[in-house]
Structure 1
Amino acid sequence: MDDLKILVVDDESRMRKLVKDFLTKDGYIVLEAEDGQQALDMFYGDKEIALIILDVMMPKRDGWEVCREIRETSKVPIIMLTAKSEERDELLGFELGVDEYISKPFSPKILAARVSAILRRTNQSLANEVMEQGGIVIDKIAHSVKVDGKEIDLSYKEFELLSYFFENKGVALSREKILNNVWNYDYFGDARTIDTHVKKLRSKLGDRGEAIKTIWGMGYKFEV
């Protein structure tokens, strides 16, 4: 994880320093931006940024605008910070392609753990493996998914979730098990995160999305 660059975007200097101190201890290079426009300028100017921690409420351009623009050209992992905890804000974040969503106040240790989990999964050495199930093809090296020969655009987390379903075809998976394995940490929240991602994933897979079966009261099973 050494030397990986993380961009921390928040208009509160105290918050940036708090996050930077924790991440620097873990060996990351931390860049700071105090508003949305500065964040975009820094992101476009540095192709080595591996992850973005992005506040919602900022001057000039807010976090939603920044996320929306970055997602037009990049799948860099984004963790969204917000002082709000309303469901519609969280769902909007997932719609825009946010990988993690954390409400303030939060534990810096938990944030650091989530950063580590995302980057570990993003940068781990993957075997040259192409998996195919029921018309869906996953190429882990290219980080691409094709449905009936047509490539579809998945967020980082949607790709990881679909890969996990592939690797556990026919196995009944509880929401807790999915969270622990796909998110790779103890998730302090409810199952809405899983349900939101599954709904979005099914939609992008079209008719093939029917392979993701709901097991009422428990979780999901991938079956073709």
Structure 2
Amino acid sequence: MGERILIIEDEQKIARVLELELQFEGYETGVAHTGTDGLILYREQSWDLILLDIMLPEMNGLDVLKRIRATEYDTPVLLLTAKDAVSDKVAGLDLGANDYITKPFEMEELLARIRVTLRFRKKEALEEADPYLFTAGQLRLHTQMREVTWQGEPVELTKREFELLAYFIAHPKQVLTREQILDAVWGYDYYGDTNVVDVYVRYLRQKLESQLIQTVRGVGYVLKEG
């Protein structure tokens, strides 16, 4: 069974062409010709992607998008916009649209954008289901593969640096004392200087080129969202 795409488009000829092309590509489709009917259909069934025209009767596309994003951000929305409607494109992206394509458009380009959007959604879903993957904003750490990326770039860490960062990312936004960090990363039998935590935090800051790990004066450290 293919992915399900909801088409909300008031021009019936365009909607029909989209429906036939998408079905030919193996997608299941639903069609609505007004903003109100589109919102009803969206709420009644489950969809993998929504093609949403902005200029709709009864309720315009931006209002439909606003109502969708008021409840969830998981379903990708690709806007169909008029050629000169720059403000609508900006407003749509600000409201949570994933992408837009300008009318008139080439069907191959639209299909390519749909494929990319759905691929990205699948990737996100797989990552969310991966128990070994931890994220904090643009920081990503995989405990099983022992890989770290920051802003999409790989970061090379020593074993101790990795364990320290893994401890931080497992406790995001939580203020951790030096003693807690020592016990978790260096072990309960460590009797050295607690300043070793400060040294390794400095190493991480240098390698990430970021103040993602922030000092809480008199207490310890906290990992903020990147």
TM (norm. structure 1) is: 0.59
What letter matches 1:7 in structure 2?
A: L
**Partner residue of 2:135?**
131
Tell me the residue number matched to 1:22.
21
Q: Could you tell me the percent identity over the aligned residues? A: 28
Partner of 2:90: 91
Q: Deviations over 1:156-178 (max 9, x none)?
A: xxxxxxxx9633268xxxxxxxx
With over 3 angstroms needed to count, the CA separation of the structure-2 counterparts of 1:120 and 1:35, relative to structure 1, is same
Aligned partner of residue 79 in structure 1, secondary structure: strand
Change (3 A) 1:166 1:69: same
Q: Give the corresponding residue for 2:153.
A: 168
Number of residue pairs matched by the alignment: 146
Question: Equivalent residue of 2:48, what SS?
Answer: strand
Deviation at 1:94, TM superposition (A): 1.0
Distance 1:62 1:43 in 2: 15
Supply the distance in 1 between the matched residues of 2:77 and 2:209 (Cα, whole angstroms). 30
For residue 109 of structure 1, report the CA deviation from its aligned partner. 1.1
Counterpart secondary structure, 1:49: coil
What's the CA shift for 1:138? 6.1
- Which letter maps to 2:88? D
Distance (whole Å) between structure 2 residues aligned to residue 85 and residue 50 of structure 1: 28
> Which structure has the larger Rg over C-alpha atoms?
2
Aligned 8 A contact 1:169 1:223 in 2 = no
Greater RCO structure (CA 8 Å; 6+ sep): 1
- Are the counterparts in 2 of residues 51 and 77 from structure 1 also a CA contact under 8 Å? yes
Q: TM-score, normalised by structure 2?
A: 0.58
Q: Which amino acid aligns with 2:12?
A: S
Per-residue CA shift, 1:51-88, capped at 9, x if unaligned? Answer: 10000111100101000000001211000001242322
Shift of 1:20: 1.3
Code of the aligned partner of 1:70? I
Q: RMSD of the alignment, in Å?
A: 2.5
Where structure 1 has 5 or more consecutive residues not aligned to the other structure, the ranges are: 141-163, 171-221
Alignment partner of 1:62 out of 53, 60, 63: 60
- Over 2 Å off, 4+ runs: 84-87, 124-128, 136-140, 164-167
